């Protein structure tokens, strides 16, 4: 797995990183759910009905689960950890629209130790500092598991999304270094498949597997 090391600018990431924004929303929802379930637990216990005690146990378990998510998520999803553990991948701007721009990324979704399985994925982003927002702009990124669920069955990883390096640094030199660490073959493959971005976006799985026989020799493993 190809990783990329750099000093993450936390202040910049808090301002522009949409992954962090999603994590903050998840924590707020988890805390809100914990409060509602906690009040429900107290109310059911106050009723002192045999069935209400059974429901209270279920509500209490829900409260604990919600609190666990709220407390555990920041540790599991620290921005430095996400960048350090993610795989460096190429992404390009495939289109611009009212909500921002669409990125088309090339990712290997095979689990470690398995033959590479490449797929195209898309992501709509509102902000892309440090980059020009026109089709073909090269945007180095890292992969992040979109669902954060346990490992799936089979040789393929759970769904992944792309998190731009530019969401973690203001330094154009870092972005240039990340771009150079990705092979020209990968950048060309993305450039040649820009027209597939809309097809990928409409796919139920939100990804499009690439035929290994049609890949450049360097990507066949």
Cα–Cα distance measured from residue 46 to residue 53, given in angstroms and rounded to the nearest whole number: 9
* Interior angle at CA 181, CA 5 and CA 179, nearest 5: 95
Mean per-residue pLDDT over the chain, rounded: 84
SS3 string, 31-92, reads HHHHHHHHHHHHHHHHHCCHHHHHHHHHHHHHHHHHHHHHHHHHHHCCHHHHHHHCCEECEE
pLDDT > 70: percent of the chain? 90
- Cα 57 to Cα 15: distance, rounded to the nearest angstrom: 40
Note the residue count of the chain.
Answer: 221
- In this predicted model, which residue has the larger pLDDT, 101 or 111? 101
Q: For position 153, what pLDDT does the model report?
A: 45
Residue 75: per-residue pLDDT: 57
Total-model pTM:
0.80
Neighbour tally for 65: CB within 10 Å: 14
DSSP state of 183: -
List, for residues 141-187, the tens digit of each pLDDT value: 999 875 544 445 466 666 788 999 999 999 999 999 999 999 999 99
**Residue 150: per-residue pLDDT:** 46
CA 120 to chain centre: 14
Mean pLDDT within 113-121: 84
Tens of pLDDT, residue by residue over 53-99, are 788 888 889 888 888 777 766 655 688 888 998 899 999 999 888 78
In DSSP notation, 127-163 reads --TTS--STT-B--EEEEESS-PSPPSSSBPPPEEEE
């Amino acid at each position: 797995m190809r990783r990329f090391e750099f000093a993450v600018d936390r202040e910049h990431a808090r301002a522009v990183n949409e992954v962090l924004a999603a994590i903050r929303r998840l924590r707020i929802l988890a805390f809100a759910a914990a409060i509602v379930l906690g009040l429900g637990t107290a109310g059911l216990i106050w009723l002192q009905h045999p069935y209400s005690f059974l429901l209270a146990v279920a509500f209490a378990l829900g409260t604990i689960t919600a609190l666990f998510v709220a407390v555990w998520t920041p540790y599991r999803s620290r921005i430095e950890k996400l960048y350090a553990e993610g795989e460096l991948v190429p992404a390009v701007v495939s289109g611009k629209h009212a909500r921002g721009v669409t990125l088309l990324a090339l990712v290997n979704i095979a689990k470690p130790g398995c033959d590479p399985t490449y797929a195209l994925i898309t992501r709509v982003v509102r902000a892309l500092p440090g980059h020009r927002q026109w089709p073909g702009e090269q945007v180095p990124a890292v992969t992040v598991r979109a669902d954060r669920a346990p490992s799936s069955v089979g040789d393929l990883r759970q769904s992944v999304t792309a998190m731009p390096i530019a969401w973690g640094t203001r330094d154009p030199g870092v972005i240039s270094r990340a771009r150079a660490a990705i092979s020209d073959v990968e950048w060309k493959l993305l450039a040649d498949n820009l027209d597939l971005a809309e097809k990928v976006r409409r796919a139920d799985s939100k990804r499009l597997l690439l035929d290994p026989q049609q890949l450049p020799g360097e990507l066949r493993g």
